[in-house]
């Protein structure tokens, strides 16, 4: 995976010029550059422990294969010299490489089947009780049910991406954190065939689901389906896949985000409902420094209104008016007498 960095909106724009959406690139933003690029099904405590165990096992297998390859190379040299020193194990005593790899693949498959059972159980529950909330539910494929579930928080193998690079940037930067953020660009030529049984898919493919919700349309959503789903290294090393990671340093997040929001990419746009509007209103209220200098006219009107109110509430002035009126009343009474 290639890694680069952007410290300004100009550098970010140049990056998207190089990896243009119209050349087949899709984008994903993550608020923490250290987070793994894995779907929800591979997160959580248990899944994380399994993923860690898998990575540790893979590292041991890779190390063993590397050492075994070096030993084999030495044996070839010694055979060429027609001699074999005593400290080099004879071929019949070497460990069975095929057996080591077989055991690793078996362990990998156990993790995969465990995670897919979680997805299967969650999907079955969604399909059983979800039709009352979904229009034309009977026409949906299992993949489309999975897409709807993903959009509403279901545990799946799908990973959210977007055709819109600014949408990915907003999701990466909108949570103000002290860590570096990451924006990924991906080009994957394979497109999912939704007629393929959900249990038989393997590899990596784009899933451009039809817009089953308004927010999917606004976000220009596209999913990435990966199987096995628990290690980015497994699918990003595919020769047909190209993955670029753009890191935005923590100190550059706010200035770039302000530019993106000024283009109208915010929660109210990406989530076109009352929930999105409320989230955007909360975000504006919690981050006034980001937008305050963008609305000086509004601030001026507020100041004028405040000054006018303070003038109306001028206690000393009201007391003087009361005194003047009292004097006039007293004079009028004296004239009548």
pLDDT at 309: 47
Confidence grade of residue 188 (pLDDT, cut at 50, 70, 90): very high
Nearest to 51 by CA among 182, 201, 229: 229
Q: Is 156 left (phi over 0), alpha (psi -120 to 50) or beta?
A: beta
* Residue predicted with more confidence, 213 or 328: 213
Query: What does the block give as tokens for 30?
Result: 């993550």
Residue of 75 and 240 predicted with greater confidence: 240
Lowest-pLDDT choice from 68-82, 230-244, 279-293: 68-82
pLDDT, residue 296, reads 42
- Return d(Cα 47, Cα 293) in angstroms, integer: 45
Domain ranges of the chain: 2-48+115-290, 295-336
More confident residue, 46 or 3: 3
C-alpha closest to that of 193 among 235, 144, 133, 258:
144
58-80 pLDDT tens trace: 777 777 777 767 766 666 666 66
Question: What average pLDDT does the chain have?
Answer: 79
Whether residue 91 has pLDDT greater than 70: no
Q: Which of 152, 108, 116 is nearest to 41 (CA)?
A: 116
Q: How many whole angstroms separate alpha carbon 335 and alpha carbon 108?
A: 108
Model pLDDT, residue 202: 85
Q: Which residues pair with 162 in a beta bridge?
A: 27, 221
The answer to whether 136 and 97 are in contact (CB under 8 A) is no
Indicate whether 161 pLDDT > 90.
Answer: yes
| Residues β-bridged to residue 187 | 242
Tell me if 265 sits within 8 A of 167, measured CB to CB.
yes
* DSSP codes, 47-97: HHHHHHHHHHHHHHHHHHHHHHHHHHHHHHHHHHTT---TTSPPGGGS--H
| Tens-digit pLDDT profile for residues 194-235 | 889 988 898 889 998 887 778 888 899 999 998 877 766 666
Peptide bond into 60 cis (omega under 30): no
Which pLDDT belongs to residue 13?
94
């Amino acid at each position: 995976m290639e890694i680069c960095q952007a410290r300004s909106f100009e550098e970010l724009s140049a990056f998207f010029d190089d990896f243009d959406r119209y050349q087949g690139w899709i984008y994903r933003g993550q608020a923490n550059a250290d987070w793994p690029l894995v779907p929800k099904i591979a997160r959580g405590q248990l899944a994380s422990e399994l993923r860690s165990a898998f990575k540790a096992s893979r590292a041991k297998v890779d190390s063993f294969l590397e050492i075994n390859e070096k030993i084999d190379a030495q044996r070839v040299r010694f055979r060429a010299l027609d001699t074999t020193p005593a400290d080099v194990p004879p071929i019949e005593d070497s460990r069975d490489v095929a057996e080591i790899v077989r055991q690793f693949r078996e362990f990998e498959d156990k993790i995969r089947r465990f995670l897919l059972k979680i997805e299967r159980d969650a999907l079955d529950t969604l399909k059983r009780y979800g039709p009352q909330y979904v229009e034309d539910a009977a026409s949906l494929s299992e993949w489309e049910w999975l897409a709807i579930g993903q959009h509403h928080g279901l545990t799946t193998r799908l990973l959210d991406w977007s055709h819109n690079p600014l949408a990915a940037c907003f999701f990466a930067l909108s949570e103000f954190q002290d860590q570096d953020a990451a924006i990924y660009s991906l080009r994957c030529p394979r497109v999912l065939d939704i007629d393929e049984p959900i249990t038989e898919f393997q590899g990596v493919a784009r899933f451009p689901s039809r817009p089953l919700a308004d927010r999917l349309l606004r976000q220009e959503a596209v999913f990435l389906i990966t199987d096995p789903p628990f290690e980015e290294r497994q699918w990003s090393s595919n020769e047909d896949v190209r993955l670029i990671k753009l890191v935005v340093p923590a100190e550059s997040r706010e200035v770039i985000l302000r530019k993106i929001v000024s283009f109208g990419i915010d929660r109210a746009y990406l989530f076109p409902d009352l929930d999105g509007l409320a989230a955007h209103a909360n975000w504006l209220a919690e981050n006034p420094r980001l937008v305050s200098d963008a609305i000086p006219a509004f601030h001026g009107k507020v100041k004028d209104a405040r000054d006018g109110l303070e003038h109306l509430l001028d206690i000393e002035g009201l007391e003087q008016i009361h005194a003047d009126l009292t004097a006039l009343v007293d004079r009028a009474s004296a004239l009548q007498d």
